[in-house]
Amino acid sequence: MKNLVLIIAAVLFTCHLWAQNTVSADSLSYYEGQLIRVCDTVTGVHVSTGKSETTFINFGEPFPKHSFSLVIFQKDVQSFSYKPAEFLENKNICITGKVKLYKGKPEIIVYNEMQIRVEE
């Protein structure tokens, strides 16, 4: 019974995420603090080294002129069924999440792969 409740909650959460309005990548800065969906092509990936491996998925121009980034912390990468830095490279994807500004650039922190949909 507990598993059924968790499955229903996950389905409803996913439906809520994908029901959000899609905004353009160029306008993300205007949506700081809001839950949105954005679709674009991955143009670069980077996994930091050191104390914590953080995955950065970039869009637009190559880093550091990228238009926005997805950030996936090491603790969250472990819950993915694939390696985001390898699997998502050069793919057109849609992401749902809350927009934050970091050093003037918009970013979305991704906690699980349900926030990302690969467009075929």
Assigned token pair, 105: 């650039």
pTM of the model: 0.80
Total domains in the fold of the chain = 1
Distance CA 33, CA 113 (A): 20
**97 three-class SS:** strand
Contact (CB, 8 A) for 111 and 71? no
pLDDT tens-place string over residues 46-97? 999 888 889 999 998 888 888 999 999 999 998 999 999 999 999 999 999 9
Place of tokens 């994908």: 18
Q: What is the pLDDT of residues 10-34, one digit of tens each?
A: 544 554 544 467 888 888 999 999 9
CATH number at residue 60: 2.40.50.140
Segments forming the whole domain that contains residue 64: 2-118
